Chain A
Amino acid sequence: MARLFALLAFLLLLGSCSAHGPSSQLLNVSYDPTRELFRDIDAAFARDWREKTGKAMTVGMSHGGSGKQARSVAEGLPADVVTLALAYDVDMLADRGLVSKDWQKRFPYNASPYTSTIVFVVRKGNPKQIHDWPDLIRPGVSVITPNPRTSGGARWNFLAAWGYARRLPGGSDESARDYMAQLFRHVPVLDTGARGATNTFAQRGIGDVLIAWESEALLARKSIGDDKIQIVIPSVSILAEPPVAVVDANVDIHGTRKAAEAYLAFLYSPEGQEIGASHFYRPRLPEVAARHKGEFPDVNTFTIADIAGNWKAAQKKFFADGGLFDQVGPGRGDKP
């Protein structure tokens, strides 16, 4: 519904003000938990753009699950830029010719202006003493993580757990698979999205530990309070790199290429990075990162390239029909 309104609003604006010349409106199609982040980014960018060009520029937003948003763009939502949760979703747009094939080289750091990582959220005082990945599969521990088949964020959770098990000394695909099977035996509820899982854990009181993006965990701690939950950083985790890309096919029609590129570049600017950090995304820029060192403790991270090569391979191996999640996920019927 929100998508529909964004589309309608956009079309109206397009019709009213861009009959001639380039549009003064950008549409950023993003995923769910970035609402607060981009509200601030968009305001700051509009100011920056006016100072530099003397022209007005407003940014419309559309939010939803990452995969669903990519699908909308593929089906004709006139996005100028996409800022999604998974490179896999942008790859799909590249396959359909909407985004250039080399999109990951268009912007620094694999076209990912900020990062996050996967952490644990536990109840105050950490009653079950959960400190690292092996603790999740101890008897009596109940783990909340969303369904990786429906949630982009949950795919990072899955890969973080897999990467931990696979990269253990002497670890193999078999031993990692075994760990994942044990882990999912401890999962009582599979929400369809990351926010849903956070609510199940925090509001419904289900589970002893929530696996979540650090940005979501910090936001939850801010809104729920550290008298209720606390964050545990595991010994190793994955480097989550949410991607950004210009939708080439659309900006050329709208005449917004320059603005769209400036918008994404703004995310890498000191001001953009500072805003990202204030919304709990880890900055890339060393000077900004240094300022926020206290908020983002050092984590030993691996990347998706280290454990699966790329997203396409990961998708096929883990999350496709009959993939590893289907084999070891909950509800297989062979519970002990």
Chain B
Amino acid sequence: MKRRVLPGFGLSLGYVMAWLGLIVLLPLAALVFKSSALAPSGWWALLSSPRTLAALRLSFGGAMLAAAVNVLAGLLVAWVLVRHRFPGRRLFDALVDLPFALPTAVAGIALTAIYAPEGWLGRYLVPMGIKVAYAPLGVVVAMVFVGFPFVVRTLQPVLESMEREVEEAAASLGATRWQVFFRVVLPLLLPTLLTGFGLALARAVGEYGSVIFIAGNIPRLSEITPLLIVEKLEEFNYAGAAALGVAMLVLSLLLLLLVSLVQRASRRWELPR
């Protein structure tokens, strides 16, 4: 066997496996085990019911929309924070983390207060026909809020370490500013953007606390999947709740896998090393 340069591979790998097993795999195994109490017909009835389908559509569709919004807004914010120097920059930088720190229920209440028909923004939006609070749009707004820091925080270190010489070289070779951005900077950032997208997506799919305050929770319209799980638990239907959890888990895994596949494909633009 070839000797490795770094010591302790066997031991550290053992720790990694034990830790991942304890923290991640064990709870997930318990979830799958609980859901196995449900017969195949029960699974089918649960997953094919219009209510479940609508909730899954809102949870995953809303999360993808929110993650996409966060990628665009996050790119802009990270760019400004890294590339420009202006008074208050550090303050803005610190503000980015706020959605991490705030209990999500507080965020939900605050967002609802703002977008409710009599709220600060709601009183102008609702007469224009834009209903945010107590509508599916509110779900997306809450998801954007909780997912926002992920994109900014994954982009910042990459932007900081990006060599400006590359951009300067492109410019000196006659590229316009838009060409530099779209053909040089963006391809370099794409894998990181996708990482941020995946993180924001995962965060939004699992979000419960803030969403239930603003959603209105009307079945088939503004009801997210985690709420359906809570309903099942409320009637002591552990198997049904676990089954919905497994369904969410599988869908999330598939989505994250897809994101990482796209990411791998996007790496072909990376500079050869």
Residues of A within 8 A of B (CB): 65, 67-68, 71, 92, 147, 149-150, 188-192, 196, 199, 203-206, 315, 319-321, 326, 329-333
Pick out which of these stretches binds chain A: B22-30, B62-70, B174-182, B214-222. Answer: B214-222
Q: In the complex, which residues of chain A have a beta carbon less than 8 angstroms from the beta carbon of B50?
A: 333
Please determine whether B236 and A332 come into contact, CB atoms closer than 8 angstroms.
Answer: no
7 sample A-B contacts, Cβ–Cβ < 8 Å, listed by A number: A147-B217, A147-B231, A150-B231, A150-B234, A188-B134, A326-B219, A332-B219
Residues of B within 8 A of A (CB): 50-51, 109, 112-113, 116-119, 133-134, 212-213, 216-221, 223, 227, 230-231, 233-237, 240
Chain B's interface: helix, strand, loop or mixed, by majority? loop
Chain A's interface: helix, strand, loop or mixed, by majority? loop
Instruction: Pick from B51, B109, B118, B233: contact of A68, CB below 8 A.
Output: B233
Cα–Cα, bound, A280→B63 (Å): 43
Cα–Cα, bound, A332→B237 (Å): 22
Cα–Cα, bound, A203→B240 (Å): 35
Please determine whether B218 and A315 come into contact, CB atoms closer than 8 angstroms.
Answer: no
Given contacts A204-B112, A206-B116, are A188 and B235 in contact (CB under 8 A)? Answer: no
Question: What number of A-B contacts does a CB cutoff of 8 Å give?
Answer: 73
Most central of B217, B233, B234 by chain A CB within 10 Å: B234
Nearest CB in chain B to that of A199: its residue = B109
Nearest CB in chain A to that of B219: its residue = A331
Please determine whether B113 and A204 come into contact, CB atoms closer than 8 angstroms.
Answer: yes
Q: In the complex, which residues of chain B have a beta carbon less than 8 angstroms from the beta carbon of A150?
A: 227, 230-231, 234
Q: In the complex, which residues of chain B have a beta carbon less than 8 angstroms from the beta carbon of A192?
A: 212, 217, 227, 230
Please determine whether A67 and B233 come into contact, CB atoms closer than 8 angstroms.
Answer: yes
Instruction: Pick from A149, A330, A331: contact of B231, CB below 8 A.
Output: A149
Cα–Cα, bound, A102→B50 (Å): 40
Please determine whether B231 and A333 come into contact, CB atoms closer than 8 angstroms.
Answer: no
Please determine whether A205 and B117 come into contact, CB atoms closer than 8 angstroms.
Answer: yes
Please determine whether A321 and B240 come into contact, CB atoms closer than 8 angstroms.
Answer: yes
Nearest CB in chain A to that of B42: its residue = A321
Q: In the complex, which residues of chain B have a beta carbon less than 8 angstroms from the beta carbon of A147?
A: 217, 231
| Least CB distance, A226 to chain B, in whole angstroms | 20
Q: In the complex, which residues of chain A have a beta carbon less than 8 angstroms from the beta carbon of B113?
A: 203-204
Please determine whether A331 and B223 come into contact, CB atoms closer than 8 angstroms.
Answer: yes
Please determine whether A189 and B235 come into contact, CB atoms closer than 8 angstroms.
Answer: no
Instruction: Pick from B220, B235, B240: contact of A332, CB below 8 A.
Output: B220
Please determine whether A333 and B220 come into contact, CB atoms closer than 8 angstroms.
Answer: yes
Q: In the complex, which residues of chain A have a beta carbon less than 8 angstroms from the beta carbon of B237?
A: 321
Cα–Cα, bound, A331→B113 (Å): 24
Instruction: Pick from A65, A188, A191, A203: contact of B234, CB below 8 A.
Output: A65
Given contacts A190-B218, A192-B230, are A206 and B212 in contact (CB under 8 A)? Answer: no
Q: In the complex, which residues of chain A have a beta carbon less than 8 angstroms from the beta carbon of B218?
A: 188-190, 330-331
Please determine whether B235 and A321 come into contact, CB atoms closer than 8 angstroms.
Answer: yes
| Least CB distance, A3 to chain B, in whole angstroms | 14
Please determine whether A196 and B213 come into contact, CB atoms closer than 8 angstroms.
Answer: yes
Please determine whether B219 and A189 come into contact, CB atoms closer than 8 angstroms.
Answer: no
Given contacts A204-B116, A206-B134, A321-B240, are A189 and B234 in contact (CB under 8 A)? Answer: no
